């Protein structure tokens, strides 16, 4: 059955975040308060179709018990989108990741929103919003669809525009028969510098209602927690809400009522320790830089006396073993 049809309303998604939402962190969030859908970090299809493939596969890694993982792709070559989408749909990539038969991604998302210079200067990600790149955006969507051939749903995650808000971009996207569209309420130029403009996300919903009522729409940008997301979904008629950085304030961000404020020092340390242990078990041979854990250290080692001092010691650790000792047996 099409996974999209099984989603509650509103559904909640953990936003893709590079070097953050790997299998380890997703498993932690699944254990605290799970959203309905998870996205992988973005992975480059052109890299996946090159000799560098094995190095990039870590971005797609997931384990059998993980709930609803969507693979997020970016790149430039439509043919590579087609082949990778096909390899996702037919289970080739899941098998390559060592997963048992029948265990697969639930969908594919195309990143058309990342604002980073390194991606944009090549014409990828948010650069695809530009009018001059619309044919390429169209070819990429068509190629991904051809690879999936309806076996898995296809979605696009994007921004309100490149330099300016661009409704022609949404008219175009909503003509592509997508299963889902996620709109981050800022332009590329705005990066993350201004508050997300939800009223404009609401305008895209109205366009969706007129042009493509079958396409589910999720809104994204500055959502604090589930109650806040529910309010926005109701106000703007959205099917879903995607939360990213909110998880750095509260690992229970998807809970109906978050217990995080009441968590003791010992509980906070134990949660970080759980993540460090899973990191150690998952990423061997320095597949992931241990420094990527420092971002999480700030999340968990917080809100109790002595947190700052403990954080300072933890952030100098060079190995997961050292971290575990510092976090106590």
Ligand X SMILES: Cc1cc2nc3c(=O)[nH]c(=O)nc-3n(C[C@H](O)[C@H](O)[C@H](O)COP(=O)(O)O)c2cc1C
Contact range with ligand X by CB under 6 A, out of 47-55, 62-70, 241-249, 306-314: 241-249
For residue 197, give the DSSP letter. Answer: -
Q: Hey, is 283 helix, strand or coil?
A: coil
Element (H, E) at 91: none
Euclidean distance between the first and the last CA atom of the chain, given in angstroms as a whole number: 45
Using CA atoms, how far apart are residues 115 and 123, in angstroms rounded to an integer? 11
Q: Which stretch binds ligand X (CB under 6 A): 76-84, 207-215, 239-247, 302-310?
A: 239-247
Residue 201 binds ligand X (CB under 6 A): no
Residues 247-286 as x/- pattern, contact with ligand X by CB under 6 A:
----------------------------------------
Pick one of 157, 188, 208, 226: the residue that binds ligand X (CB under 6 A): 157
Residue in 45, 179, 43, 57 with CA at minimum distance from that of residue 106: 179
Q: Does 221 bind ligand X (CB under 6 A)?
A: yes
Q: Tell me if residue 158 falls in helix, strand or coil.
A: strand
187 near ligand X, rule: CB under 6 A = no
15 secondary structure, DSSP code: P
**Least separation in angstroms between CB 186 and ligand X:** 8
Q: Which of residues 51-80 bind ligand X (CB under 6 A)?
A: 72
Q: Quick check: is 114 catalytic?
A: yes
User: Cα 29 vs. chain centroid, distance in angstroms?
Assistant: 13
The answer to whether residue 244 forms part of the interface with ligand X (CB under 6 A) is: yes
Identity of the residue, 184 or 208, whose beta carbon is nearer to ligand X in the bound complex = 184
DSSP H helices in the chain: 23-32, 45-48, 53-56, 78-89, 92-96, 117-120, 134-148, 167-173, 198-211, 226-236, 246-249, 265-282, 294-300, 307-314, 320-326
What is the closest distance, in whole angstroms, from the C-beta atom of residue 182 to ligand X in the complex? 8
Identify which of residues 231 and 281 has a Cβ nearer to ligand X in the complex: 231
Site for ligand X in 29-48 (CB under 6 A): 41-42
Kindly tell me which of 71 and 314 has the beta carbon lying closer to ligand X.
71
Binding flag, residue 243, ligand X (CB under 6 A): yes
Q: Which of 75, 72, 77, 74 is nearest to 88 (CA)?
A: 72
Q: Is 111 in the site for ligand X (CB under 6 A)?
A: yes
Which residues of the chain form contacts with ligand X (CB under 6 A)?
15-18, 20, 41-42, 72, 111, 113-114, 157, 184, 220-223, 243-246
As annotated, the active-site residues are 114
């Amino acid at each position: 059955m099409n996974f999209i049809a099984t989603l509650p309303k509103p559904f909640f998604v953990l936003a893709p975040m590079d070097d953050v939402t790997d299998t380890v962190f997703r498993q932690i969030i699944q254990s605290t308060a799970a959203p309905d859908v998870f996205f992988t970090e973005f992975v480059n299809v052109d890299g996946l179709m090159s000799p560098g493939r094995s190095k990039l596969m870590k971005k797609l890694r997931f384990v059998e018990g993980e709930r609803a993982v969507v693979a997020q792709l970016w790149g430039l070559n439509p043919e590579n989108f087609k082949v990778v989408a096909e390899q996702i749909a037919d289970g080739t990539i899941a098998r390559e990741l060592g997963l048992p038969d029948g265990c697969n991604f639930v969908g594919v998302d195309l990143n058309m929103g990342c604002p980073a210079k390194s991606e944009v200067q090549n014409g990828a990600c948010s650069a695809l919003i530009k009018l001059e790149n619309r044919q390429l955006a169209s070819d990429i969507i068509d190629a991904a669809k051809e690879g999936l051939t309806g076996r898995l749903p296809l979605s696009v995650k994007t921004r309100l525009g490149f330099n300016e808000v661009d409704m022609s971009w949404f008219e175009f996207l909503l003509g592509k028969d997508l299963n889902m569209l996620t709109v981050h309420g800022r332009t590329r130029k705005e990066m993350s510098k201004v508050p997300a403009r939800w009223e404009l996300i609401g305008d895209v919903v109205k366009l969706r209602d007129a042009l493509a009522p079958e396409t589910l729409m999720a809104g994204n940008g500055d959502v604090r927690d589930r109650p806040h997301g529910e309010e926005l979904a109701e106000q703007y008629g959205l099917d879903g809400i995607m939360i990213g950085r909110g998880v750095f304030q509260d690992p229970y961000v998807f809970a109906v009522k978050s217990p995080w404020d009441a968590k003791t020092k010992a509980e906070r340390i134990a949660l970080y320790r759980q993540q460090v242990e899973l990191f150690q078990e998952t990423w061997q041979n320095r597949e992931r830089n241990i420094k990527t854990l420092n971002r999480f250290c700030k999340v968990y080692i917080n809100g109790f006396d002595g947190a700052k001092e403990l954080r300072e010691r933890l952030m100098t650790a060079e190995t997961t073993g050292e971290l575990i000792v510092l976090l106590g047996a």
